[in-house]
A and B are shown apart, each in its own frame.
Chain A
Amino acid sequence: MLNDITIGQYFPGNSVIHRMDSRFKIVLVTVYVVMLFVAQNFWGLGVGCAFMIMVYAASGISFRLILKSLKPVLAIIIFTAVLNLIFVKDEGDPLVAFWVITIYRKGIETSAFMVIRIVFLIVGMSLLTYTTSPIVLTDAIESLFSPLKKIHFPVHELAMMMTIALRFIPTLIEETNKIMMAQKARGAALDTGGLIKRAKAMTPILIPLFINAFKRANELATAMECRCYRGGEGRTKLRVLHATKLDFFAAALTVCVLGIIIINNIVF
């Protein structure tokens, strides 16, 4: 059951989006997020959404996956929609008045606007993790934040930690499974009883898991030392990120879309 968790959610491919420099992808996704918040009306938002739909079409990511990315935030989306629907009022007559609930035209509009904004926010950010492998993403973050090294911010160390975490997540999931099986075989009741009882029942799983994780960390540190690891100073890379024409084209396109949205805001 724990195997069902897919971390990183990377789907390998060779589309133009997959091929883009991951640093550009991170920056452009940020610009896209700004774009969604800058948009003040449906026209502006529509341009932003159309842009994302176009990018998705280019990435070859299936529609099913897009829906899947929205599943975890469904509750938030519904909550936002309902809240706006009920509490946003205008001067006109209510369209619906039922018991304590009154719904105005503006409520429907705001609600729709907010829902579209959240949906496209999530969908846009998911595209980044769908088309970029975690390790490349880590590289990009390390590269983007490298100016912070000047103020002694441990950029390399954080990136290294992220890599190791990604490396060990599947191993630890597998181990958790094994320990759960072993304790179940000793009669541990893991899936019955109230909340407190269940939390208590986790002890026989968590303690071995932590102890093993520390042991692993210790052994890994030795193995890394044996392979001449001395921190980020003077390190080179097997894979070097480099920007191509494609990336500059994508950047130009994104900036244009942002421009259109801003102009739209000013004009209307």
Chain B
Amino acid sequence: MERYIFAFPSVTIAIKAQAVLRRKGISADVIRTPKSLAVGCGYSVSAAADPGVVAELLEAEGITPRAIGKPR
């Protein structure tokens, strides 16, 4: 499964998102937000799942990614 990057405003939200996805059996890791998604400090989740499915799962928990993209 191809990996996608989901950017969040803080490490707290990123880890919360990681926990949501792992509970659903999705491989997810917290990483530094790559330059391609946002400038400055920030944290993202790298997840091996369809981005639409991930966004839907996170939305259900009140979490909205600031940006979604592919790793370079």
Tell me whether A and B are bound partners: no
